[in-house]
A = this chain, B = another copy of it.
Amino acid sequence: MKFTVKQIATLLEGEVAGNDALAITGLAKIEEGKPGDISFLSNLKYEPHLYTTQASAVIVDRSFEPKKPVVSALIFVENSYLAFTRLLEEYHKQLIFSRVGVEQPSYMGDGTEVGEQSYRGAFSYIGKNCQVGKNVKIYPQAYIGNNVRIGDNTIVHPGARILDNCIIGQYCVIHPNAVIGSEGFGFAPQSDGTYKTIPQLGNVILEDFVNVGSNTTIDCATMGSTIIRKGAKLDNLIQIGHNVEIGKNTVIAGQTGISGSTKIGDNCVIAGQVGFAGHLTIANGTKVGAQSGVGKNVDQEGTAINSSPAFGLKESMRSLAIFRKLPDLENRVTKLEKKNEKQS
């Protein structure tokens, strides 16, 4: 980022007090601001930092009046917190879409087309007959197999792997070393104790605005598609089995695993390190506590479950509370037994 204070004030529809020609190159908390940084003051608890900060500029509310001299340029806006957030988003967008063009060496197979404003980093590989949209950023060392389609404005980070025939929507982000469309775990036991590989010939479909975290793996379907619906967000180190379907706007935290053919509804919130058995159907709006083990369907929308094996959240909290004092409960039983013995 390289802007003047004046340019930023114009973007945020604010007015400047101080030197509006200063160059801004970074964003920082007000207590950590260095020359070249821009910061903000919203919660007046932090006002003392305003008089000591090294930041070149600080965004403040229009209603704010400094009580001491301020070295930083001030940008007065309607809502300083929202203005700073907008600046963060603008800066972020610029950053992630800043790379354009082709670094060499990189590899592109026959019949593949890549849209304008895209980036292909050094050592990136795109197979044959792929259709890659506009403003797509393929980072160095990323791999894209044959017959893959990628929508506009999607980012494929370094070392991410997208295997043959997968379909990736617009505005998706595939984080480093994620694997999409690899062959899942399909093996048929034979009478001699060995296992025969069941061919996995389907693909993975990510709809628009899907996030796939670092080192997360999404297996292709046996036939048909493993599907991650629009706006779903997957954290790091998640395992998604073959033929799974994840609903719209469902968020899944790190290290959770979902076994083959399970369908998770829309708008679910699934915490970290959860496990789902295969072939389940989980209703829309289900909430699952961390480290839960889900072995049964959830039929009712908006259910909250917890524990391993998972059951109702409230019930599980009660059982877990008693679990912690089980020795006490056992003592109470022993006491009753002794009394009983005396009485008889």
Contacts and interface: CB of A to CB of B under 8 A. Distances in A.
A344 B339 contact: yes
A81 interface: no
A256 B201 CA distance: 25
Given A199-B91, A291-B293, A319-B324, A273 B272 contact: no
A233 interface: yes
A11 interface: no
A267 B187 CA distance: 13
Given A236-B239, A273-B273, A214 B255 contact: no
Nearest to A275: B273
Interface stretch (A12-20, A63-71, A296-304, A329-337): A329-337
Give the number of copies in the complex: 3
Interface string A262-282: 000011000011010100000
B272 A272 contact: no
Contacts of A235: 185, 239
A340 interface: yes
Contacts of A55: none
Contacts of A29: 223-224
Tell which of A248, A308, A344 has the most Cβ of chain B within 10 Å: A308
A43 interface: no
Nearest to A140: B125
B163 A176 contact: yes
Contacts of A183: 173, 175
A28 interface: yes
A62 interface: no
Nearest to A157: B182
Contacts of A327: 315, 318-319, 322
Contacts of A176: 143, 161, 163, 179, 182
Contact of A333 (B28, B267, B332): B332
B326 A336 contact: no
B272 A275 contact: yes
B257 A239 contact: no
Contact of A237 (B200, B239, B322): B239
Contacts of A324: 311, 315, 319
B339 A201 contact: no
Interface of A: 27-29, 32, 88-89, 91-92, 95, 103, 105, 107, 121-123, 125, 139-141, 143, 157-159, 161, 163, 173, 175-177, 179, 182-183, 185, 187, 193-195, 197, 199-201, 209, 211, 213-215, 217, 219, 223-224, 231, 233, 235-237, 239, 241, 248-249, 251, 253-255, 257, 259, 266-267, 272-273, 275, 277, 290-291, 293, 295, 308-309, 311, 315, 318-320, 322-327, 329-330, 332-333, 336-337, 339-340, 343-344
